[in-house]
């Protein structure tokens, strides 16, 4: 089937930490320009974008954070495209000690709409992401800034362009972030505490 300009897609990037904890992250992208796009092309494009993001993420995730699959659906048309393997990356790349599952780095992405802030948590951290005082290292902050730059910049794959954001029930519109805020204070996700998973 054809993909139309304006369609919103959701991609769930699923990883697994130590074989027992799911580390999922959900992204929404709007198809903003291109020509003759099909479901298959859109899926391929979105998997490529995810690899661009996670090529940075894996530099601070523990090697025991294994990338399992990517689930893709067209939110606009209500179509589930299915579950796909990662094109090439398989795991985090750092092999020091690991942090507790609930500890995460956080990027806040503001949309310009009051109280519509996109939050991206990054779990499965290696303890080398933390300084001795428990804050995130300078290198970690640099990586988060690089991820923010990817999320804030329209991504063009082939002749097709996608913008990261969120289809907001509050406004009824697809809201794209206008900026990001990063601090060196680790976040904590209660839903990812030991034994809880996702």
Distance CA 179, CA 96 (A): 32
In a domain, 164, yes or no: yes
Q: Which domain holds residue 29?
A: 8-192
Distance CA 46, CA 63 (A): 24
In a domain, 124, yes or no: yes
Structural domain count of the chain: 1
Q: Per-residue confidence at 102, pLDDT binned at 50, 70, 90?
A: confident
Distance CA 49, CA 52 (A): 5
In a domain, 186, yes or no: yes
Q: What is the CA radius of gyration of the chain?
A: 17
In a domain, 198, yes or no: no
pLDDT tens digits for range 143-171: 999 999 999 999 999 999 999 999 998 88
Tell the residue number behind the tokens 């709007």, with chain if given.
30
């Amino acid at each position: 089937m054809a993909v139309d300009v304006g369609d919103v897609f959701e991609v769930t990037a699923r990883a697994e930490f130590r074989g027992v904890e799911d580390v999922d992250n959900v992204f929404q992208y709007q198809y903003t320009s291109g020509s003759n796009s099909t479901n298959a092309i859109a899926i391929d494009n979105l998997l490529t974008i995810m690899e661009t993001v996670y090529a940075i993420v894996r530099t601070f995730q523990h090697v025991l954070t294994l990338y399992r699959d990517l689930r893709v659906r067209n939110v606009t048309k209500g179509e589930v495209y299915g579950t796909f393997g990662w094109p090439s990356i398989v795991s985090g790349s750092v092999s020091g000690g690991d942090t507790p599952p609930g500890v995460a780095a956080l990027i806040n992405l503001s949309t310009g709409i009051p109280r519509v802030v996109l939050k991206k948590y990054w779990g499965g951290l290696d303890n080398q992401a933390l300084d001795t005082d428990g804050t995130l290292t300078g290198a970690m902050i640099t990586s988060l800034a690089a991820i923010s730059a990817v999320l804030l910049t329209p991504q063009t794959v082939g002749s097709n362009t996608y913008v990261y954001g969120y289809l907001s029930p509050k406004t009824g519109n697809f809201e794209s972030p206008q900026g990001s805020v990063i601090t060196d204070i680790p976040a904590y996700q209660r839903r990812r505490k030991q034994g809880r998973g996702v």
